[in-house]
Chains A and B, each alone.
Chain A
């Protein structure tokens, strides 16, 4: 037996079972392109803001992933008639004031059927503004017990120091005037500094409840 120097009376236990008994995916295969990797979930409880700051409380928001996805689950405001909005930071969350140029369009439809349209909302886009960017088109969110918003926002390559920082969002919300509104907001943070924090808040009052889940999306 070439290469075998052990005792011939000992058998090496073959561990075929280790593969079929796997209950989690090994790192070598969970790195497939496009895979979502859960990083952090923040749960609102009468929260003024929800912030993801790189290096804080387990948050990763750097060059580890080329794309980050935030998923919103039933974000519910304390105050009636408000918008859900966000801003970016390049100084670890000390300031949320990155300059942004954005677009905002969506479709709305009232529960009574009297009003519906697809429209560009020129009042809710930004042109080189440091203001918080609303994720809503048209109306505002109600605080009725069953009213909320759900959807997602993707942030591309936030740690890049050459290019601006693109983002795209799509959410649906229950407007306080009993409308369903499907919103598409996109644009770029016009900075070549690395973005290392993001903050979500209501335009007024607290986030009463809801979850924001942060995922990294692996590349090849």
Chain B
């Protein structure tokens, strides 16, 4: 009979997470992963509730089908599909061209909203060259609150279609006291050719 050694040491010697525990990564709990493949939209329609005080969306190499486009987002309540909640927001950018010119920081009045219901840009003018994309994150605070407006803070960095690096700092609030339940991302023109968006619950569960 072959003797099998008890694996008491296994728990202290773990170097990779087993499946169940892999859901927890540094107190960011991965809830949903959406992968684009010539996708018109990427929708997160479940898992946004009172479980966590805030939610973090991470963008990995969002690549547009159409040149010179922005990754944008909107939210909705209940089982709504209109994605047209009221937003007041700010946006500013830092830019530097590959040619070493045009370094600047400036407010972007064409990417903010004043009680608007449009999709909110998270970046600016992504190129659709093979190696061009956008990465970043969006932090959404307490979406399930039925008392307060819903604050968000985003940071995106992308390859500008005119060949340069742009960082876009967007923030604001969704001006509703109704609980948010869903978030939709899309390009402002054309499909999301490829890219991954991961949604995490941040920190401990609400307490």
A residues neighboring B (CB under 8 Å): 1, 4, 8, 12-16, 18-26, 28-30, 32, 34-38, 41, 71, 73-74, 76, 106-114, 116-118, 145-151, 170-174, 178-182, 211, 213, 215, 218
For the complex, give the distance between the alpha carbons of A71 and B55 in Å: 12
CA distance A8 to B107 in the complex (A): 77
In the complex, A19 Cα to B12 Cα: how many Å? 11
Interface size on B, residues (CB 8 A): 59
The total of interchain contacts (Cβ-Cβ below 8 angstroms) comes to: 175
Q: When chains A and B are docked, how far (Å) is the Cα of A179 from the Cα of B114? A: 9
Which B residues have a C-beta under 8 Å from some C-beta of A? 1, 3-8, 10-21, 24-28, 53-54, 88-92, 105-107, 109, 112-115, 141-142, 145, 147-149, 151-153, 169-173, 175, 177, 202-204, 207
Q: Is the CB of B153 within 8 A of A73?
A: no
A12's partner among B3, B24, B170, B207 (CB-CB below 8 A) is: B3
User: Distance in Å from the Cβ of A12 to the closest Cβ of chain B?
Assistant: 5
Flag if A36 contacts B153 (CB, 8 Å). Answer: no
Q: Which residues of A contact B10 (CB under 8 A)?
A: 15, 18-19
User: Which residues of chain B are within 8 angstroms of A14 by Cβ–Cβ distance?
Assistant: 4, 6-7
Tell me which residues across on chain B come within 8 A of A215, comparing CB atoms.
Answer: 27, 203
Contacts of A8 in B (CB 8 A): 1
Query: Nearest 6 CB-CB pairs, A to B?
Result: A113-B114, A35-B26, A182-B171, A36-B27, A107-B90, A150-B141
CA distance A116 to B88 in the complex (A): 11
CA distance A36 to B109 in the complex (A): 35
